[in-house]
Structure 1
Amino acid sequence: MKKIKEIIVVEGKCDTLAIKRAVMADTIETNGSEISQDTLNRIKIAYERRGVIVFTDPDFPGKRIRQIVSEFVPGCKHAYLAKEDAIAKGDKGVGVEHATNEAIIAALSHVREEMVGEEIDTIPWEDLIAAGLTGGPDSKRRRELIGSQLRIGYMNAKQLHKRLNMFRVTREEFQQALEALYRTEEE
């Protein structure tokens, strides 16, 4: 079983159980979107001593928690789970706790580090327009596929631009993701 050095920030106890089923790791639970100052302080200490990986559900509350943690502790690592990998059988919800061991291991194998400091525009806005990732009738679906391919989650066009640059996605990575998108569209 793979051991994770960093402490994984999750939303609740069921997420912790799912993580421990898939890998050997310590977790900090935020108790959902009611993330307290005490919890944020523990995350900051964990970041300073071992590093943290934020691994929240692919839904609005998960994005909110991710944003709160990132603002309080800049420079965190992030693992993203595709929504289709987090849906419970019988459509009983979306969350890390519903993911298979394989999906959790894959997400943790493609962790992205948030870059803090100098803003670098690695992927210009014009590239998103040219790729049909904004302003078109099919842009949302295309962003979902790109986010999944790059393992940075789903987001609107403005957030996509920010994440591409925040995680320093290279032009080569972006181009490979676009090629995978085009292959999917041809099928």
Structure 2
Amino acid sequence: MKKIKEIIVVEGKSDTLAIKRSVLADTIETNGSEISIDTLNRIKRAHETRGIIVFTDPDFPGKRIREIISEHVPGCKHAYLEKADAIAKGDKGVGVEHASRESIIDALEHVREELLESEDELISWDDLMAAGLTGGSDSKHRREVIGRELRLGYMNAKQLHKRLNMFRVTPEEFEQALKALYSNEEE
């Protein structure tokens, strides 16, 4: 079983169990989206000593937790699960705890690191428009494919632009994701 050096930040006990069945890792549980100051301080200390990987559910509360952690602990690493990989059988919700071992390992192998300071953007808003990722009838679907290819999760156009630059996705990586999008559309 693969060992992860960083401490993985998850939402709850069930997520911890899913992580531990997939990899050797320590976790910190946020206990949902009402993250206490004590928990944020533990996350900050973990980030300073071993590093952290934020691995929350692919839903609105998971997104909110990511934002809170990123605001208080800049420079985090993030792992994203596709929503389809995190849906429970029998419509019992969406979450890391429902993901397969393979999906969890794959997400942890494609971790993205935030940049501490913003630099010049690598991917412009015009690039998104030219690729049909905003303003078109199929833009949502196209963003879903790009988010999956780049392991950034699903987001609206504004969030996509922010994440592409926050995680320093290079123009070459963006172009590769677009090629996958175009080949997907041809099928």
TM-score, with structure 1 as normaliser: 0.99
Classify the secondary structure of the residue corresponding to 2:174. Answer: helix
Q: Which residue of 2 aligns with 1:68?
A: 68
1:51-62 matched pairs, under 5 angstroms: 51-62=51-62
Q: Which residue of 2 aligns with 1:24?
A: 24
TM-score, with structure 2 as normaliser: 0.99
Measure, in 2, the Cα distance between the counterparts of 1:94 and 1:78: 18
Whether contact under 8 Å (2:122, 2:169) holds in the other structure is yes
Percentage identity across paired residues of the two chains: 79
Q: Which residue of 2 aligns with 1:4?
A: 4
Classify the secondary structure of the residue corresponding to 1:174. Answer: helix
Measure, in 1, the Cα distance between the counterparts of 2:127 and 2:39: 39
Q: Which residue of 1 aligns with 2:97?
A: 97
Classify the secondary structure of the residue corresponding to 2:53. Answer: strand
Are residues 1:174 and 2:142 paired?
no
Letter paired with 1:46: A
1:105-124 matched pairs, under 5 angstroms: 105-124=105-124
The CA deviation string for residues 48-82 of structure 1, in whole angstroms up to 9 with x for no partner, is 00000000000000000000000000000000001
Are residues 1:152 and 2:122 paired?
no
Shift of the alpha carbon at 1:91? 1.8
The CA deviation string for residues 117-136 of structure 1, in whole angstroms up to 9 with x for no partner, is 13221001101001110001
Letter paired with 1:111: V
Shift of the alpha carbon at 1:39? 0.3
Q: Which residue of 2 aligns with 1:134?
A: 134
The CA deviation string for residues 101-147 of structure 1, in whole angstroms up to 9 with x for no partner, is 00000000000000011322100110100111000111111101100
**Unpaired stretches in structure 2, ≥5 consecutive residues:** none
Shift of the alpha carbon at 1:34? 1.4
Classify the secondary structure of the residue corresponding to 2:155. Answer: coil
Letter paired with 2:80: Y
**Unpaired stretches in structure 1, ≥5 consecutive residues:** none
Letter paired with 2:104: I
Classify the secondary structure of the residue corresponding to 1:9. Answer: strand
Shift of the alpha carbon at 1:90? 1.5
Letter paired with 2:174: F
The alpha-carbon distance between structure 1 residues 118 and 33, as it changes in their structure 2 partners (threshold 3 A), is closer
Whether contact under 8 Å (2:118, 2:166) holds in the other structure is no
Letter paired with 2:161: H
Aligned residues: 187
Measure, in 2, the Cα distance between the counterparts of 1:34 and 1:69: 11
Structure 1 runs (4+) greater than 2 angstroms displaced: none
